[in-house]
Amino acid sequence: MSSSSAAARVLPSTDAFQLSSEDFSFFQSAINEVAGIHLADSKIELVQSRLRSHVISLGYESFKDYRNHLKSVPSGHADWQDFINLLTTNKTDFFREAAHFQFLKEKVIPKWLAESSSSTFKVWCAASSSGEEPYTISMVLDSCLPKDKSYLVRATDIDTDILRKAQSGVYPRSKLAEIPTEYQRSFDLGTAEIKDWMRVKPHLKSKVTFSRYNLTGTNAPPDGDFDLVFCRNVLIYFTPATIESVMKKLYQATKPGGLLLIGHSESLQNIKTDWKAVKPSVYSKEEKK
């Protein structure tokens, strides 16, 4: 959609809190620069709806005033982090794309137990969102590793608000419906006034550490020498050039022979990368020769 057609979708300019095409172009470029997220022109209404209440709460009289403020502060400023938090998408569930967790339990762990001398299986969950994915990994690994082996899950995300939610390990009880019966004992269920909530059990929660990390930033990836990396359903928000950069970071952080899992709807086809395809949505790092 052209900028002229974007402007045509904006409601009358007498309302200061309708997003102009100029405002949208700035926010579109800004979120790409600070978070690597590509927003199509069709997302103008989404951006307007996500930012409006925040801009009003800060006391600005228009989106233009808000963007001028962002221009005036460094990218590391807390107001930029709030901007990122508002425009990132956090759609996830426990056991989402369940075939990956079956693959982890039936293929990855048996192979690791047979071939690795390490006592700890290390996983990086590189876009952890509200925590359902890393806690699912913790449940599966706890269920299938022998007592003389351990594991750790490093969970990172760019959104600091969602990381705080994930760290709490508290979820609506209704989310039990997403979880196979065999894993439902992984939660302490609330009673009385908190009966509609549940919390991940301490022994599972203790294996997961959360921290902020920008996959598209300049910082080096977490130091972990990971056996397995989950980076699922985030590549769809990136341009091919950004995906190539992210793939380099993930590859760097993974030990030889380690694996990468991406979303079922994602692919590295036509992406320049050292990752080798194993099967759809599964890639490996070449073993040392």
Secondary structure class of 163 (helix, strand, coil): helix
Q: In this predicted model, what pLDDT tens digit does every residue of 188-237 receive, in sequence order?
A: 999 999 999 999 999 999 999 999 999 999 888 888 799 999 999 999 98
Give 263's pLDDT tier (boundaries 50, 70, 90).
Answer: very high
Q: What is the pLDDT of residue 1?
A: 41
Q: In this predicted model, what pLDDT tens digit does every residue of 43-65 receive, in sequence order?
A: 999 899 999 989 998 988 889 99
In the chain, CATH 1.10.155.10 sits at: 3-87
Secondary structure class of 89 (helix, strand, coil): coil
- Per 3-state DSSP, the chain is made up of helix, strand and coil in percentages (nearest 5) of 45, 15, 35
Q: In this predicted model, what pLDDT tens digit does every residue of 122-161 receive, in sequence order?
A: 999 999 999 999 999 999 999 999 999 999 999 999 999 9
Residue 109 and residue 144 in contact, taking contact as beta carbons nearer than 8 Å: yes
84 CB-contact burial (10 Å; exposed 0-12 / middle 13-18 / buried 19+): buried
- Kindly give the interhelix angle for 21-35 and 63-72, rounded to the nearest 10 degrees: 30
Closest-CA residue to 136 (of 159, 156, 155): 155
Active site residues: 50, 157
Query: CA distances (Å), 218 to each of 35, 139, 146, 196, in order?
Result: 11, 32, 38, 41
Provide the CATH topology of domain 3-87. Answer: Chemotaxis Receptor Methyltransferase Cher; domain 1 (1.10.155)
Q: What is the pLDDT of residue 18?
A: 86
CATH hierarchy code of domain 99-284: 3.40.50.150
Q: In this predicted model, what pLDDT tens digit does every residue of 225-254 receive, in sequence order?
A: 999 999 999 999 899 999 999 999 999 999
Note the pTM of the prediction, 2 decimals.
Answer: 0.83
- Position 101, amino acid: F
Q: In this predicted model, what pLDDT tens digit does every residue of 68-113 receive, in sequence order?
A: 999 998 888 889 989 988 988 777 899 999 999 999 999 999 999 9
Residue 125's φ and ψ, nearest 5 degrees, are -100, 100
Lookup: tokens for 205: 């929660």
Q: What is the largest CA-CA distance in the chain?
A: 68
Helix (H) or strand (E) holding 140: helix 132-144
Secondary structure class of 93 (helix, strand, coil): coil
13 CB-contact burial (10 Å; exposed 0-12 / middle 13-18 / buried 19+): exposed
Q: What is the pLDDT of residue 10?
A: 42
In the chain, CATH 3.40.50.150 sits at: 99-284
Q: In this predicted model, what pLDDT tens digit does every residue of 3-35 receive, in sequence order?
A: 444 444 443 344 567 889 999 999 999 998 888
Lookup: tokens for 175: 């989310």
Mean pLDDT across 252-267: 96
- Position 115, amino acid: E
- Looking at 114-166, which runs of residues are DSSP E strands? 120-125, 150-157
Q: What is the pLDDT of residue 74?
A: 87
Lookup: tokens for 259: 């694996």
Secondary structure class of 16 (helix, strand, coil): coil
Give 289's pLDDT tier (boundaries 50, 70, 90).
Answer: low
Mean pLDDT across 269-284: 96
Residue 168 and residue 190 in contact, taking contact as beta carbons nearer than 8 Å: no
Secondary structure class of 41 (helix, strand, coil): helix
Which residues on neighbouring strands pair with residue 121, listed in sequence order? 151
Q: What is the pLDDT of residue 227?
A: 98
Helix (H) or strand (E) holding 22: helix 21-35
